[in-house]
């Protein structure tokens, strides 16, 4: 069915560069600083074309943030933006000052979508700068791993022209159907969780 396969690609320019000096972790297993690539893949079944769905524009991703020096920060990433936004931190135990949301060195380097029949597949490649640190509040070394990712799905209802947002998240239950908040029509079904994984560090290929 290759003939029916439609594909479009978006490629951005050169990757961001970040030069940030952070204290090394006191832990003996700290992962060295450097660029890191994160791959996110998802596939939506029984896609309806009745609503204008805008794919690929926004992800939320859980990262350890060396700027806040806090682990597990929700970080917002927009396609086309040079940097993401870390949601900052609240001090639960008063050990450190809270941080406001701030720019984070992570970006969507590329987004691809392909369509076969009524199934759409998506792949994002994110690039980030990673620095090791020690999270004083959680009392643990930071890691470059990604606990979860959330895919934001904006769409427009053809009946009212109102815009809404749905989302899917890699650590929530499946299957999950997207239903229009306005007319209730089913826009597609996530049959399985999005996949998020850290790619090999440069030079380690």
Binding site residues, Zn ion, CB under 5 A: 65, 67-68, 73, 86, 157, 180, 182-183
Q: How far apart are CA 82 and CA 13, in angstroms?
A: 10
Q: Using the 8-state DSSP alphabet, how is residue 167 labeled?
A: E
- Choose between 13 and 184: whose C-beta lies nearer to Zn ion: 184
Give 106 or 180: the residue with its C-beta nearer to Zn ion: 180
Rounded to a whole number of angstroms, the minimum distance from the CB of residue 164 to Zn ion is 8
The distance of closest approach from Cβ of residue 203 to Zn ion in the complex, given in angstroms and rounded to an integer, is: 27
From the list 135, 57, 49, 154, the residue with the least C-alpha distance to 96 is: 135
For the CB of residue 39, give the shortest distance to Zn ion in the complex, in Å.
Answer: 22
Q: Of 40 and 178, which CB lies nearer to Zn ion in the complex structure? A: 178
- CB closer to Zn ion out of 34 and 98: 98
Please state the closest distance from residue 18 (CB atom) to Zn ion, in A: 13
- Euclidean distance between CA atoms 178 and 153, whole angstroms: 9
CA–CA separation, 151 vs 170, rounded Å?
A: 9
| Token code pair at residue 7 | 């594909």
Structure tokens at 44: 């939506």
Closest CA to 102 of 62, 74, 130, 133: 74
The residue among 85, 64, 48 whose CA lies nearest residue 180 is 48
From the CB of 34, what's the least distance to Zn ion, in Å? 18
In the complex with Zn ion, the residue whose CB is nearer, 116 or 176, is 176
């Amino acid at each position: 069915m290759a003939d029916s396969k439609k594909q479009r690609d978006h490629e951005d320019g050169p990757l961001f560069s970040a030069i940030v000096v952070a204290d090394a972790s006191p832990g003996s297993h700290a992962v060295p600083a450097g660029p890191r690539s994160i791959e996110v893949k998802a596939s939506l079944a029984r896609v309806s074309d009745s609503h204008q769905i805008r794919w690929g524009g926004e992800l939320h991703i859980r990262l350890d943030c060396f700027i806040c020096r806090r682990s597990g920060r929700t970080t917002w990433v927009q396609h086309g933006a040079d940097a993401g936004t870390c949601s900052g931190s609240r001090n639960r135990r008063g050990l450190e000052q809270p941080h406001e949301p701030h720019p984070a060195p992570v970006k969507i380097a590329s987004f691809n979508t392909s369509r076969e029949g009524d199934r759409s597949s998506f792949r994002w490649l994110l690039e980030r700068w990673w620095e090791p640190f020690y999270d004083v509040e959680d009392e643990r070394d930071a890691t470059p791993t990604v606990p979860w990712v959330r895919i934001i799905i904006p769409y427009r209802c053809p009946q009212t022209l109102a815009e809404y947002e749905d989302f899917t998240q890699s650590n929530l239950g499946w299957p999950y159907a997207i239903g229009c908040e306005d007319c209730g029509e089913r826009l597609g079904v996530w049959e399985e969780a999005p996949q998020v994984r850290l790619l090999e560090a440069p030079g380690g290929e």
